[in-house]
């Protein structure tokens, strides 16, 4: 049945050449675990992408129940965990995935650095990867406040104080994030939710597209 559906779509849109162009390409021998055990280190990038996909999917599920205001935020998270089928599992995946993706990005970055894959002609892709790392850090920071419990509240207060300590533009950064230079309140939660759900994911998707296009154009870097 799936083959019939594929043939029906392919007859109208001619998707086979596009699919082959994306999927059919040679993989260098040094990244084949069947030939080199060290090739497993080349899996960190793919694992990072896999975890990011899980974060997107689980986050989309969480937004169906989350209420981004200081009156209902905590109760909505509590309801999600206690009343919604598989809610605790999905939130756990999102929670632990936020930490695991940072670990995988760090390991991927180490592999790129120690194999010299950041050198010419891949310098720009290295810069894009570093920007993606900062965006993932921002996603972790903005998402931490959303449960609106005491731990999240005071951790955000400390984080905003650190942002304020940045020379010259520190106060501006804090005000932009919190909405109120004096307290962490309703505006802060709303802004963190918007940044976490809309702005940073959009930036991350754009950079990932650029990252993958450059990898496809330049190929996988050679061995050390």
Res 31 pLDDT > 80: no
pTM summary value: 0.89
What residue ranges do the domains of the chain occupy? 28-218
Residue percentage of the chain with pLDDT more than 70 = 95
Give the mean model confidence (pLDDT) for residues 35-56.
87
Res 19 pLDDT > 80: no
CATH 1.20.810.10 for domain 28-218: yes
pLDDT at site 97? 97
Please report the sign of the dihedral spanned by the C-alpha atoms of residue 174, residue 176, residue 181, residue 187: negative
| Alpha-carbon gap, residue 18 to 26, rounded angstroms | 16
């Amino acid at each position: 049945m799936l083959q019939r559906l594929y043939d029906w779509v392919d007859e109208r849109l001619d998707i086979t050449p596009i699919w082959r162009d994306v999927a059919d390409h040679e993989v260098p021998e040094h990244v084949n675990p069947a030939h080199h055990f060290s090739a497993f280190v080349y899996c960190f990038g793919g694992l990072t992408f896999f975890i990011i996909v899980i974060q997107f999917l689980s986050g989309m599920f969480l937004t169906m129940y989350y209420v981004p205001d200081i009156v209902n935020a905590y109760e909505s998270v509590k309801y999600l965990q206690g009343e919604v089928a598989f809610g605790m599992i999905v939130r756990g995946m999102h929670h632990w995935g936020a930490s695991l993706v940072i670990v995988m990005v760090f390991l991927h970055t180490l592999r790129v650095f120690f194999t010299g894959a950041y050198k010419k002609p891949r310098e720009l892709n290295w810069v894009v990867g570093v920007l993606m790392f900062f965006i993932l850090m921002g996603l972790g920071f903005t998402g931490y406040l959303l449960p609106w419990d005491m731990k999240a509240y005071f951790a955000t207060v400390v984080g905003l104080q650190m942002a304020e300590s940045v020379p010259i533009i520190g106060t501006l950064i804090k005000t932009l994030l919190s909405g109120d230079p004096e307290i962490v309140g309703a505006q802060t939660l709303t802004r963190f939710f918007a940044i976490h759900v809309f702005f940073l994911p959009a930036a991350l998707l754009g950079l990932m597209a650029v990252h993958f296009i450059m990898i496809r154009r330049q190929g996988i870097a050679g061995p050390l």
